[in-house]
Homo-oligomer: A and B are copies of this chain.
């Protein structure tokens, strides 16, 4: 059960963006340097964030990205959904009508995994970018 770096990077990059996004757009190059994330990889990630209307882009010199919403409105859920970082505890979810494994019954631990998913997703729904900003000073070890 682990978080992929795509999801982690997306959040890191957005926190970085939010901190420097006062007037001017922030370039991926700057984020890349500050956060130590590959520029090419960041471009993939921001492409998705843009499709999901979390950021806006400004092309050309002095261009970059800008948040498309108030940090308070951007929940972790939105970010993770955008980059396909989903919480998956069961495989049997897809077959909506039927039970698990094609049987007519739910597997005996099905309820548990559902509970777990909800538990994790609740965490994601209750955290916004704004919450993270308040807590994002690089703390010395």
Residues of A participating in the B interface, judged by any CB pair closer than 8 Å = 1-5, 7-8, 11-12, 15-16, 35-36, 80, 85-91, 97-99, 101, 104-113, 115-116, 119-120, 123, 127, 132, 135-141
Contact = CB atoms under 8 A, between A and B. Distances in A.
B12 A107 contact: yes
Given A88-B2, A123-B116, A138 B105 contact: yes
A31 B127 CA distance: 41
Given A1-B1, A1-B85, A141-B99, A119 B123 contact: yes
Contacts of A5: 91
B138 A106 contact: yes
3 nearest CB pairs, A to B? A2-B88, A105-B138, A108-B136
